[in-house]
Amino acid sequence: MAKSYDVIVIGGGPAGYPAAIRAAQNGFKVACIDSWKNFDGSHAFGGTCLNAGCIPSKAMLESSEMFHKANHELSKHGVKLGKVELDLKTMQERRAGIVKQLTSGIGQLLKGNGVDPIKGHGRLLKDGKVEVTDFDDDSKKEVLEGKHIVIAAGSQPIELKSVAPFDDEVIVDSWRALEWDSVPKKLGVIGGGVIGLEMGSVWKRLGAEVTVFEAMDNFLFMADQQVAKVAQRDFKKLGLDIKLGAKVSKAKANKKSVTVTYEDKSGEQEMKFDKLIVAVGRRPYTENLLEDGCGVNLDDRGFIKVDEECRTDKANIYAIGDCVRGPMLAHKATEEGIMVADLIAGKVAEVNYDVIPSVIYTHPEVAWVGKTEEQLKEEGVPYKAGTFNMAANGRAKAMEAASGLIKFLAHEKSDEILGVHIVGPMASELIAEAVVAMEFRASAEDIQRTIHAHPALAEGMHEAALAVDNMAIHAINKK
Ligand code: FAD
Ligand code: NAI
C-alpha cells in the first residue's frame, strides 16, 4: 500500500521547505521531496537560493567588497595596509562552508519539525498520487499518497541555445560563475539584470575587466528610473562597462576564450573574453513533473497556472515559488509556502503581492517596494515625490559611503505611501521600514512623525518622507 501523508511538498527550496515546516507546525503529517544535485553529485536541501543563488552570491559579494575596500577605501579611514593579496581559495572555501552549514541546517529543521525529508524526484501522477524516483538509483520508484500536494519545483537559468549555449567551462550560468577558482582577466555578461550586476560586481572587484551586454535601452528598466540613473553612474565609477541596447547575436567559444558578436547603436562589433556568463532570466522548472492528465496546467509562459491563493486547476493541489507567476524571489516563494500551509489548515492567509521588496546587493545597493514614478504616471495616479540625497547623511559620511538617494512616493490626496526607492548604503536593510509602513498602509506623515535614531542611515528615510511635503531638514527645499 502507498505510504500516505496529509501534505506532500515537491521541492525543498525557500518555497517548499517553509511550506513543509509550517504544515507540520499546523499538525499535519508531512513529506518534503527534493532532488537538488550539487556538482559533486551530492544532495542538499535549500534549492537554488541556498545552494547556488541568494546565499553563495551574497557571500561572494561580501568578500569581494572587503577586498575592494582593502584596496581602495581603508586608506581614507587612515588604515594603511601592506600589499593586499587575493586568496580566492579561502574566499571560495568560506562561501562553500556557509552554504554547507545552512543547507544541512534545513535537513535538521525539517526533521526537527517532524517532516519526512525525502531525497528524490517527485512526479504528480494522473491518479493524484506522487511517484518518487530515488536520488541515487533511477530504477527505484515509490508511490506516495497525499491529501494535499504542494508543488515548489523552482526555476532554472534560461539558456540562449542558438546564440551562446552553455559549455560549463567558458560559457556558463550564474552557479558555475560563483565557484570559479581563478579570476578571469576579461569577463563578458549577457544580461544587465540582477544576476548580471551582482556577478559582474563580484568579479570586477576581484580584478576582472567586466563588460555587461543589456538588450534594453534603459538601465534597470524595472526600477524607478531616477534611482536607476544614480546606480548606473556608480557602477560606471566601479568600472563596469555596461552596454545598453546591445544585442548579442553570437558567442563562439573554444576551450580558452569566447568571441562575442553584438550589435548596438554603432553597428555590429566583436569582443573577446576569457569567460561569458549568460544571465538573461530564469524559467520555471517543470521537467518530468506532471503526468499527462494529472489536472495541473501550465500557463502560456510555462509557469504552473495558479490563482491568488496558489491553487492549481486541480483541487487540493497548490503550486508556489519560482514555478508560478510573480517575481522570482526567495521571500515571495517563502510567503507563498507559509500561506498555502495555513490555507490547508483552514486558517485565513494571504500574500500581499503589492508589497514585495526587491533588492540588488551590489555597491551601491538598490532596493525598492511598491510603484515606481513611471508606473504612477502611466496609471494616472496623483502623487507627491520626495527625495533625500544621502550625501547629507551624517552616518553615511562616517561610513565613507555618502552617496545615493532615497525617494518616497505618496498619494497626493490621501498621503498613503505608494512606493519607496533607495540607492545607497544598506538599502537592503533600510527598505524593511518602507515594507512595514506600506503593509500597514502608512502615510508619509506617519514616517515624518516617527523618531529615527541619530546618527543612522535610517534618518534618510525620515528626511525623504519629509521631502514629500518639502520639509526635509538637511536639504534646501523647493518653495
Ligand atoms: P528553488 O530554490 O529553485 O527550489 C526548488 C527545489 O525543488 C530545488 O531544490 C529543486 O532541485 C527541487 N525540485 C525541482 N523539481 C523537483 C521534483 N520534481 N522533485 C523533487 N524536487 C524537485 N532571491 C532573493 O530573494 N534574494 C536574492 O538575493 C537572490 N539571489 C539570487 C542569486 C542567484 C545567483 C540566483 C540564481 C537566484 C537568486 N534569487 C534571489 C532567486 C531565488 O534563488 C529564487 O527566487 C528562490 O530560490 C525560489 O525558491 P523556490 O523554492 O521556488 O525554488
Ligand atoms: P533578470 O530578469 O533580472 O535580468 C535579465 C536581463 O537580461 C534583463 O535586463 C533583460 O533585458 C536582459 N536580457 C534578456 N535577454 C537578453 C539578451 N538576449 N541579450 C542581452 N540582454 C538580455 O534575470 P537574471 O538576472 O537572470 O535573474 C533571474 C532571476 O533571479 C530574477 O528574476 C531575479 O528576481 C532573481 N534574482 C534575484 C536576486 C536578488 O533578489 N538580489 C539576485 C539574483 C537573481
Q: How far is CA 419 from CA 371, 383, 409, 441, 444, in A?
A: 5, 10, 5, 11, 10
Q: Say whether pLDDT at 33 is over 70.
A: yes
pLDDT at 298: 98
Does the model's pTM come out above 0.75? yes
For the CA of 16, the closest atom of ligand 1 is 51
Nearest ligand to the C-alpha of residue 195? 2
Q: pLDDT tens for residues 385-404?
A: 999 999 999 999 999 999 99
Name residue, grid cell 562561501: 95
Ligand 2 close to Cβ of residue 341 (< 6 A): no
Ligand 1 close to Cβ of residue 409 (< 6 A): no
How, if at all, do strands 417-424 and 405-411 pair?
Answer: antiparallel
Ligand 2 close to Cβ of residue 327 (< 6 A): yes
Determine the 3-state secondary structure of 339 from DSSP. helix
Ligand 2 close to Cβ of residue 70 (< 6 A): no
Q: Say whether pLDDT at 330 is over 90.
A: yes
Q: How far is the CA of 14 from the centre of ligand 1 (A)?
A: 7
Q: Say whether pLDDT at 95 is over 70.
A: yes
Q: Say whether pLDDT at 89 is over 90.
A: yes
Q: pLDDT tens for residues 151-162?
A: 999 999 999 999
SS (H, E, C) 49-91: HHHHCHHHHHHHHHHHHHHHHHHHCHHHHCCCCCCCCCCHHHH
| Side-chain half-sphere exposure of 183, counting CA atoms within 13 A | 19
Determine the residue of 49, 60, 194, 324 to mutate for testing ligand 2's pocket, defined as the one with the most ligand atoms within 8 A of the Cβ atom.
194
Determine the 3-state secondary structure of 407 from DSSP. strand
Nearest CA owner, ligand 1 atom 45:
329
Nearest CA owner, ligand 2 atom 17:
215
Q: Say whether pLDDT at 198 is over 90.
A: yes
Rounded Cα gap, residues 52 and 176, in angstroms:
9
Q: How far is the CA of 322 from the centre of ligand 1 (A)?
A: 7
What is the side-by-side order of every strand in the sheet holding 267-273? 247-253, 258-264, 267-273
Rounded Cα gap, residues 15 and 9, in angstroms:
10
For 343-406, give the DSSP string: HHTT------GGG--EEE-SSSEEEEEE--HHHHHHHT--EEEEEEEGGG-HHHHHTT----EE
Residues 137, 119 contacting (CB under 8 angstroms): no
230, exposed or middle or buried, with CB in 10 Å at 0-12, 13-18, 19+?
buried
Q: How far is the CA of 193 from the centre of ligand 2 (A)?
A: 4
Q: Which positions are annotated as active-site residues?
A: 454
Rounded Cα gap, residues 461 and 463, in angstroms:
5
Rounded Cα gap, residues 427 and 396, in angstroms:
12
Rounded Cα gap, residues 7 and 72, in angstroms:
53
Task: Give the closest residue to 223 by CA, choosing from 9, 7, 422.
Answer: 422
pLDDT at 132: 98
pLDDT at 479: 63
Amino acid symbol at 163? V
- CB atoms inside a 10 Å sphere around CB 400: 13
Is the bond into 14 cis (omega within 30 degrees of 0)?
Answer: no
Q: Say whether pLDDT at 255 is over 80.
A: yes
Rounded Cα gap, residues 372 and 356, in angstroms:
13
Amino acid symbol at 184? P
Ligand 2 close to Cβ of residue 280 (< 6 A): yes
Ligand 2 close to Cβ of residue 196 (< 6 A): yes
Determine the residue of 49, 280, 368 to mutate for testing ligand 2's pocket, defined as the one with the most ligand atoms within 8 A of the Cβ atom.
280
Ligand 1 close to Cβ of residue 34 (< 6 A): yes
